[in-house]
Chains A and B, each alone.
Chain A
Amino acid sequence: KAGVTQTPRYLIKTRGQQVTLSCSPISGHRSVSWYQQTPGQGLQFLFEYFSETQRNKGNFPGRFSGRQFSNSRSEMNVSTLELGDSALYLCASSLTGGPGEQFFGPGTRLTVL
């Protein structure tokens, strides 16, 4: 079956702009989590959505937001971009509700100039 897909794969923005990233989970998966990976902070949890509701949230400012649609596809938005937002943004999907694995997408590489 198809894996987790993320679009776009690469993105260049300038400070102050906003950006929207998209994630399509594996068919049947209802949970989508987002992570930010930077060389300095490593992999950090942003938030998780399940059935169109945000269920968990990491320690990121309100500029980072997300949503999930009825087909489980998810988007995350970053407003008023800062240089420090340059990172690899990863999403992961899972069936949820048990000790199963999470499947990660290839990520979106965001560069803020």
Chain B
Amino acid sequence: DAKTTQPPSMDCAEGRAANLPCNHSTISGNEYVYWYRQIHSQGPQYIIHGLKNNETNEMASLIITEDRKSSTLILPHATLRDTAVYYCIVRVVDFGNEKLTFGTGTRLTIIP
């Protein structure tokens, strides 16, 4: 799986959009971009995933650049409950490969 690079920490004001960047310059054509988050000492929570098109769900939006070498997770209206470590993961989606390779993630702090 391709390696990802994320900033170690970010702050965002409550109510504003939180934009979390991720670099995955060695991504292959069959690799998806996934985002998970982990609130202190809980199990990671799935947020969103995409291959090459931008994606949106009830939690967030995922913007993938045209060359697929980077992406941005957008939390449109951050709340205090969004304070967590956010992981950007690249994974080959293949029957038989469920492995997620977590990096160090971005610690996002929402400021009241």
Contacts and interface: CB of A to CB of B under 8 A. Distances in A.
B98 interface: yes
A97 B95 CA distance: 4
B96 to A, nearest CB: 6
Contacts of A99: 32, 49, 51, 93
Interface in A35-69: 35, 42-45, 48, 50, 55-56, 58
Contacts, number: 64
B104 interface: yes
B98 A48 contact: yes
Interface string A11-49: 000000000000000000001010100000011110010
A105 B110 CA distance: 25
B43 A33 contact: no
A42 B43 contact: no
Contacts of A97: 95
Q: How large is the interface on B (under 10, 10 to 19, 20 to 34, 35 or more residues)?
A: 20 to 34
Contacts of A94: 98
Interface in A56-113: 56, 58, 88, 90, 92, 94, 96-99, 101-107, 109
A29 to B, nearest CB: 10
Contact of A101 (B41, B49, B101): B49
Interface string B38-81: 00011111100101000000000000000000000000000000
A56 B49 contact: no
Contacts of A55: 96, 98
A83 to B, nearest CB: 20
Contacts of A58: 99
Contact of A102 (B100, B101, B104): B100
16 contacts: A31-B98, A33-B100, A35-B100, A43-B44, A45-B99, A45-B100, A48-B98, A48-B99, A56-B96, A56-B97, A58-B99, A90-B43, A102-B98, A104-B43, A104-B44, A106-B43
Interface of A: 4, 31, 33, 35, 42-45, 48, 50, 55-56, 58, 88, 90, 92, 94, 96-99, 101-107, 109
